[in-house]
Structure formats: structure tokens, C-alpha cells
């Protein structure tokens, strides 16, 4: 049986992570070699006074959406039912740039037509593009690399806004100006920051993971840390096996320890070794299993039946639950430690309030992830942790893109 203490993260280890993370932040900001890219976004925080109607296109995975947002000023966002969701066909994920952006531009055209927005008014659009981009301006940036299973040819190294604009021209969409480019993390921060001036960290904890914050030394410009690539972490033999067999060995080490794309696979490797059960184990199963409080762990048994394991003993079900708890608890504590590192960089003595806006299915739906993060922050900061408030910023990336467009168009 695997010694699950492999996945424990003690207080002294969280402090090591904080020190290492801050060092990598400093190196990245100084343009030295670092596992944290620390990408300038050319975006600053909103004032809350921005007003107008804006469009956002939120592309962070195979599902994406387009929405219209009305900003009322005073930190108030109007309600609008003008939204559409789309699914990228699987073939486009490994196809060519022209087909990829033509499809997205075609979806935008359908949105404009459906809500009768295709003529009579020009719209500023915020483009949420949740992949590593080296930004050269608020509405321009070159793709550094694909993640999340995407591998579209002809995009890496090129300006994604230019590629999108070319597609809009081909589709005869002439009343939309792409005024801002951002990733989902920046959008999450800006969306909550429009409503609450104490918000100064944006985090994604879903299929992927990332964080951003406004850097005082750069006049408050928001820095995209790309923390999924942080690699100064103690790894277990299971982490190393998962990394070795991934499509990007040696990269995205933190992401492989905390994100929804990998947590289930990691737990599955331990289950396979301990119980000789070879199943495709999904992260969503962990939420069901860890929430099971029944005497016979009936929900665990139900999950196993879904994967083809018709019969299981109570001993096996208990073991599977303990494995899931150990893997997810470590992921939560790593996430909290990195948040603590960013807070300490902005506010060394934790002398003021900090709101952390978090979006993503792992944070929202896992039954103990948020609680374990809060517990870890309490260990690190003691009673002063009450100054830190983590809040769910549901769908923040789309709203944030529209608000960034508002900030950019005002300037």
C-alpha cells in the first residue's frame, strides 16, 4: 500500500513553497530564467466608474461563449440575457489557424445576428484567450505555447488578435473592434475588482490553473504569473509518472498537482498501484467520492460501477476515498501557499484586506478544496488570515473581458 504521507504538505513545506515562489516571481519580473513567466498584460484595474455596452468572447477550452455586458458605473453591472455558448469541434483543436479563427468569427457573427447587433453601432470587444500569450499591448499578443490539449498549427509565435481580425474580415464582421486581449485569470480579477476595490488577486482553479495580480512596481499593471508552470515543488513517484506520460513532460508541474485536468489521473495512478484496479479515473469522481458520508460509501460504489467495476468491498471503497482526500488536500494546500506568496509580495506584513477572486470547477464544486485552502492560509498567517477573503467569481472571465475592453476603450 502507498504511504499517503507522500501527499502531506506540512507548514514548514508551505513556507518553502512561498520563498521559492517569490524568488521565481522576482526572476521572472527581471526577465531572468524562471518557471513563472510573469507576463505583463498592459491591463490595469478598473475604477468602477466605467460605463457602456461591451461584448466579450471567452475562449478558454473546447466550450466558449460570447456575451454582451452593460456597465452602469459605480461598480454595478447590468443584467443581460444576450449570451450564446459554442463548442469547438475536436478536429479544429489540431487543425490550422485559418479554420480555427474562421469558426470563432462565424460564431460571433451568429451572436450579432441573433441579438440584432450587426449594424448601427460599433462594439468594443474583450477577447479572453486563456493560453500563455506574450502580450505586446492591451490588444495584441503572440501565443507562447498551446495547453489543455490544443495544438492548432500556425498560431504559436503569431499575434492572436491579428489572426482573429483577419477572420472577422473574411466573415464580413465590420462593427466589432477587438480592444482588449486577456486570459481568464485576468478577466476574473478585473470582474471582481470592478465591484470591489479590495480585490487584488485573480485565480483559476478548474481544468487548468493560473493566477494574476497588479504589480505596484509597474504602475499597477496586472501581471499574469502563469503559475501552472511553477516547478519548485516536491514531487512523488506518482507525480513523476504522470508527468512522464503527459503530452508536455517537464512542464506545467504545479498544474499537474492541482488542476482538474490532472487530479483524477493522479489519484487513479495510486488506486491502480494499491488496489490493482485499472480504471480511467476522472477528477469529477473525486468530488462525489469525498462528499460520500454514507456508512457503506454507496456513492463510491456507484462511481466504481460507472467505470466498469461491478463489485467492490467496503475496505476498497474506504481506501479509494482516503487516496482522493490525500491528493486533493495537497492540491489545495499548494494553491493556498502560492496565493500566500503573492499576498506577501504585495503586502509583506499583511496590513490590509485582500479579496482573492477564484473561478473554476475544482474550487467551486469540490467539497473540501476551498475549506482546505482556507485552513492552510490560517496556518500560514495565523489570526491575520481574517484579512484574506477568497470569493467565488463565477463566470468572471467573460465579464472581465468586457470590463477590460471598457478600460482600454476609455484610454
Candidates 100, 83, 66, 85; CA nearest to 176 is 66
Give the CA angle between residues 20, 24, 25 to the nearest 5°: 115
Backbone angles phi, psi at 64, to 5 degrees: -140, 165
Give the integer Cα–Cα distance in Å for 261 and 190: 25
Q: What confidence score (pLDDT) does residue 132 get? A: 84
Q: What confidence score (pLDDT) does residue 118 get? A: 77
How many Cα neighbours within 13 Å face the side chain of 272? 14
Alpha-carbon distance values, 300 to 65, 258, 268, 297, 383 (Å): 34, 22, 14, 5, 37
Give the integer Cα–Cα distance in Å for 256 and 266: 8
Model pLDDT for residues 374-407, shown as the tens digit of each residue: 999 999 999 999 999 999 998 777 888 889 999 8
Q: What confidence score (pLDDT) does residue 411 get? A: 64
Candidates 364, 360, 372, 361; CA nearest to 397 is 360
The model's pTM: 0.90
Q: What confidence score (pLDDT) does residue 60 get? A: 80
252: left (phi over 0), alpha (psi -120 to 50) or beta: left
Q: What confidence score (pLDDT) does residue 147 get? A: 82
Q: What confidence score (pLDDT) does residue 81 get? A: 74
Which domains does the chain show, CATH number per domain?
4-37+201-392 (3.40.367.20), 51-195+395-406 (3.30.420.40)
Q: What is the largest CA-CA distance in the chain?
A: 68
Mean pLDDT by 10 residues, the chain (411 residues): 96 98 98 95 92 90 90 85 91 96 97 87 90 89 88 96 97 93 91 95 94 96 96 97 94 97 96 91 96 96 92 95 98 98 97 96 97 98 97 86 87 64
Task: Write out the catalytic residue numbers.
Answer: 148, 184
Model pLDDT for residues 232-263, shown as the tens digit of each residue: 999 999 999 999 999 889 999 999 999 999 99
Amino acid at each position: 500500500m502507498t504511504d499517503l504521507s507522500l501527499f502531506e504538505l506540512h507548514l514548514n513545506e508551505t513556507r518553502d513553497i512561498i520563498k521559492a515562489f517569490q524568488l521565481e516571481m522576482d526572476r521572472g519580473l527581471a526577465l531572468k530564467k524562471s518557471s513563472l513567466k510573469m507576463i505583463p498584460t498592459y491591463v490595469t484595474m478598473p475604477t468602477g466608474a466605467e460605463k457602456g455596452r461591451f461584448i466579450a468572447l471567452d475562449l478558454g477550452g473546447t466550450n466558449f461563449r460570447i456575451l454582451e455586458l452593460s456597465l452602469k458605473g459605480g461598480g454595478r453591472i447590468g443584467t443581460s440575457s444576450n449570451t450564446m455558448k459554442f463548442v469547438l469541434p475536436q478536429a479544429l483543436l489540431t487543425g490550422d489557424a485559418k479554420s480555427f479563427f474562421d469558426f470563432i468569427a462565424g460564431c460571433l457573427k451568429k451572436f450579432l445576428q441573433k441579438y440584432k447587433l450587426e449594424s448601427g453601432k460599433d462594439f468594443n470587444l474583450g477577447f479572453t484567450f486563456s493560453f500563455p500569450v506574450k502580450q505586446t499591448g492591451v490588444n495584441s499578443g503572440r501565443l507562447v505555447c498551446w495547453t489543455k490539449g490544443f495544438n492548432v498549427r500556425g498560431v504559436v509565435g503569431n499575434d492572436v488578435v491579428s489572426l482573429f481580425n483577419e477572420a472577422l474580415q473574411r466573415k464580413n464582421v465590420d462593427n466589432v473592434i477587438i480592444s482588449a486581449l486577456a486570459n481568464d485569470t485576468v478577466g476574473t480579477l478585473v470582474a471582481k475588482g470592478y465591484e470591489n476595490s479590495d480585490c487584488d488577486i485573480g485565480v483559476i482553479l478548474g481544468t487548468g490553473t493560473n493566477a494574476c495580480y497588479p504589480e505596484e512596481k509597474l504602475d499597477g499593471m496586472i501581471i499574469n504569473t502563469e503559475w501552472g508552470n511553477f516547478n519548485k515543488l516536491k514531487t512523488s513517484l506518482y507525480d513523476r509518472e504522470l508527468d512522464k506520460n503527459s503530452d508536455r513532460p517537464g512542464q506545467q508541474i504545479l498544474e499537474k498537482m492541482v488542476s482538474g485536468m490532472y487530479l483524477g489521473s493522479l489519484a487513479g495512478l495510486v488506486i491502480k498501484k494499491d488496489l490493482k484496479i485499472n480504471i480511467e479515473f476522472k477528477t469529477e469522481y473525486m468530488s462525489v467520492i469525498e462528499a460520500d458520508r454514507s456508512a457503506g460509501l454507496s456513492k463510491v460504489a456507484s462511481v466504481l460501477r460507472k467505470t466498469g467495476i461491478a463489485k467492490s468491498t467496503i475496505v476498497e471503497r474506504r481506501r479509494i476515498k482516503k487516496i482522493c482526500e490525500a491528493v486533493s488536500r495537497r492540491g489545495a494546500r499548494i494553491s493556498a501557499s502560492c496565493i500566500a506568496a503573492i499576498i506577501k509580495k504585495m503586502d509583506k506584513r499583511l496590513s490590509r484586506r485582500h479579496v482573492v477572486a477564484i473561478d473554476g470547477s475544482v474550487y467551486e464544486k469540490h467539497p473540501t478544496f476551498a475549506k482546505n485552502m482556507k485552513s492552510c492560509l490560517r496556518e500560514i498567517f495565523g489570526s491575520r488570515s481574517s484579512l484574506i477573503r477568497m470569493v467565488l467569481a463565477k463566470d468572471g472571465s467573460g465579464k472581465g473581458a468586457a470590463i477590460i475592453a471598457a478600460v482600454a476603450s476609455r484610454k
